Structure 1
Amino acid sequence: MFSKACEYGIKACVFIAQESVSGNRVNLKQIANSINSPEAYTAKILQQLVKADVISSVKGKTGGFTMNNTNLENIKLVHIIKAIDGDGLYHSCILGLVECDSKKPCALHNRIYSIRQDLRNMLEDTSMSNLINDLENGLAFLKH
C-alpha cells in the first residue's frame, strides 16, 4: 500500500516521537537500527521529513532528530505520507491506468472510492500520540 520509503518513514517517526517524549534526540544510526533500514536510505527519508517540518534536526556532536512533544497530537500519518509519497494514494488509478476518474473509470474505480475515503479519514485522524500510546500499552509494535 505504501512505498518502502514511506513504511520506513512512518516507523522512524514513531521511534523519534517515542524518544522525544523521553527528552532524547536520536541519531541516524539509532533510527536505522530501530527500524531495520539501511542508513543511507534512512538519511534520505529523514531529509524529506525535516523538509516537510514533520521532524526536526539538530547538527553537531549532541545533535540528532526530534519531534516537538507538545505537537505530537497534531502530527498525523497523512503528513508523513505526503512528505514521502505525495498524495497519489488518493488519486492514482489502482490498476495503473493513466486516465481514470469518475467520467472514465477503470473496472475498480467505483469500488475503491469508499475504501480510499476511509483510508484518508484514518490517515488524517491518526496522530503520533495515538501510535505511541498503542505501543506503550502493548497494542502494537514496530519490529518483530
Structure 2
Amino acid sequence: MFSKACEYGIRSAVYIALQSLEGRRVSVTEIAEEIDSPVAFTAKILQQLTRNNIVRSVKGPHGGFEIEREDMDAVKLNMIVKAIDGDKIYMGCGLGLKECNEHKPCPLHDRFLDIRNNLSTMLRNTSLYELAVGLEEGLTYLKR
C-alpha cells in the first residue's frame, strides 16, 4: 500500500521519536540499522522528512536527528505519507485502472473507497507520540 520509501520514512520517524523521548539524537547509520534500511536510501528519506519539518537535523559532533516532544503529538502519519508519497494513496483505482470513478467504477471501486477512507482517517488520527510510546512500552516493534 505504501511505497518502500514511505515505509522506511514512517519507521525512521517513529524510531527518532522513541530516541528523542529518551533525550538522544540519532545518526543516519543508527536509524538505517534499526529499521533495516540501506544507509544512502535512509539519508534521502530523512532529507525529505527534514525539509517537511517532521524531524530536525542537528549538525556537529553531538548532532543527529531528533523530534521535540511537543511536536510528536502534532506530527501525524498522514504528514509523513504526504512528504514522501504525496497524495496518491488517497486517489486512483484499487485495480490500477486509468479510468475508475463513480460513473465508471471498477469491480472493487465501492469497497476500495471505504478502505481508502478508513486509511485516511487512521493516518490523520495517529501521532508519532502514540507509536513511540508503543515501542517504549514493548507493545510494538520495528525490527523483525
Identify whether the pair has TM-score above 0.5, normalized to the shorter chain.
Answer: yes
Mapped to 2, the partners of 1:62 and 1:127 lie a distance apart of 27
The match for 1:67 is: 67
TM-score normalised according to structure 1 size: 0.95
The match for 1:111 is: 111
Mapped to 2, the partners of 1:57 and 1:79 lie a distance apart of 17
The match for 2:38 is: 38
Mapped to 2, the partners of 1:18 and 1:137 lie a distance apart of 10
CA shift at 1:96, angstroms? 1.1
CA shift at 1:128, angstroms? 0.8
SS at match of 2:70: helix
Mapped to 2, the partners of 1:136 and 1:63 lie a distance apart of 22
CA RMSD of aligned residues (A): 1.1
Q: Does 1:21 align with 2:50?
A: no
Structure 1 segments (4+ residues) deviating >2 Å: none
Letter in 2 for 1:135: L
Letter in 2 for 1:132: A
CA shift at 1:138, angstroms? 2.3
Question: Percent of pairs identical after alignment?
Answer: 51
Higher RCO, Cα 8 Å, sep 6+: 2
The match for 2:124 is: 124
Q: Does 1:92 align with 2:79?
A: no
Gaps (5+ residues) in structure 2? none
Mapped to 1, the partners of 2:30 and 2:138 lie a distance apart of 22
TM-score normalised according to structure 2 size: 0.95
